[in-house]
Amino acid sequence: MSMKTIVTIVVGIGLLYGLFTVGMPFLLALLIAMFLEPVVAWMMRSLRLGRIASATIVCTVFALLLFGLVYLCGAGLIGQLIDIAKKAPAFLEDFNRYFKDATERTELFYSTLPVDVAAQMQAALEQGVTTLTNSLSSIIAGITGYFLNAAKAVPTLFIAFVVFMVALYLTTFSLPLLKTGFLGLFEDRSRDKVASVLGNLRSSLLGFLKAQIILSALTYLVSLLGLFILRVEYPFAVALLIIIVDVLPILGTGSVIVPWAAFVFFKGEVSLAVGLLALFIVITIFRRIVEPKILGDSIGIGALPTLVGLYIGFKLMGVVGLFLGPILMILYKEMRKAGLLQFKIKLE
């Protein structure tokens, strides 16, 4: 492999990283434009419309569907979240009352024990309570900090959304020109190979996006089913919160379910606490088993390479690496398949 190829790969990885960070609105616009391109081409061919008119209609319909979906899904969920926020002080009062009651019962139990045994049990209990309190405090602080940061990021997210919508229209208007200009960067003998890689990469990226949607939907359904079985309140809002934190490795599903299980346990609802912990285990195992398989089938690489890409990407680049790692695996596979990367290890 020549130095030129190595430099090209390094620059490409840097560009991909930039797209997945500061350039995310433009990357999303490009992906959606690629997804909408067959519809635009069909309108141009069937309705005899120009590209700008066809792209405007398609993008507008997409935007209306997006807004409608957000409104329909968000209205009920926001109502439940507001109701939960209103009842949060009552939940905390119940927790304090049950915790105080448990403490009084423990003290009564100590009074019936020998002094040395009671002292040992009290020391062990105090250590356990301290550990639990510290763990809950760190978890609550992490969740609170996350939502505070999310609230602070609302103006930035709004600007990013506006940029995304404008970029979507502009990208859809000029997608063929963008493709032609990009292919013009390469030599004639390499152009067909690059075009083949782009075509396959497009299918794989759309498959990757589809896989992420499927994973989130399946996780939501599993969570919702478990919450309905446990007969908890606000199942739709809680299931949404679970899938949101499930894609955040720093928090994870346990950041919602484990403190909740501890709370209901202190209330005396042992069966619900056990059920919540069982749901947490089921969601975690389900996600770890299904994720490599769905990603592998959707993007055309095996489950093991997908898992390797997810792990290495997360270790090197954090949350961004969870998306960038598998995409780099796809890019490597397609470039090898097209003959752009041809090297073999020689031991002699």
- Residue 342: phi and psi, rounded to 5, are -130, 105
Q: What is the pLDDT of residues 206-229, one digit of tens each?
A: 777 778 788 888 888 998 899 899
What's the CA gap between 31 and 283, in Å, rounded?
A: 29
What is the pTM for the complete model shown?
0.55
Asked whether residue 258 is assigned to any structural domain, the reply reads yes
Residue-wise pLDDT for 47-71, tens only, equals 888 999 999 999 999 999 988 877 7
If you write DSSP's letter for every residue of 24-47 in order, what string do you get? HHHHHHHHHHHHHHHHHHHHHHHS
Q: Amino acid letter at 223?
A: S
Confidence of residue 313 (pLDDT cuts 50, 70, 90): confident
**Residue 55: what pLDDT?**
92
Question: What's the pLDDT tens digit per position in 185-206?
Answer: 777 777 777 777 777 777 777 7
Give residue 62's pLDDT: 93
User: Does position 293 have pLDDT exceeding 80, yes or no?
Assistant: no
Residue 23 lies in a domain: no
Q: What pLDDT score was predicted for residue 130?
A: 73
Over the stretch 162-171, which tens digit does the pLDDT of each residue have? Answer: 888 999 999 9
Domain assignment present for residue 173? The answer is no
User: Cα 190 to chain center, whole Å?
Assistant: 36
pLDDT digits (tens, 9 = 90+) for 94-153: 666 766 776 677 667 666 767 776 677 777 767 776 776 666 666 666 666 666 666 666
Which of these, 279, 159, 157, lies nearest to 220 by C-alpha position?
A: 279
Q: How far apart are CA 9 and CA 341, in angstroms?
A: 10
- Flag whether 293 is in a domain: yes
Please count the other Cβ atoms lying within 10 Å of the Cβ belonging to residue 34.
Answer: 20
Q: Which helix (H) or strand (E) holds 329?
A: helix 319-338
- Domain with 303, as residue range(s), is 186-340
Structural domains counted in the chain: 1
* Residue 118 resides in a domain: no
Residue 49 lies in a domain: no
> Quick one: tokens of 105?
């019962």
222 occurs within a structural domain = yes
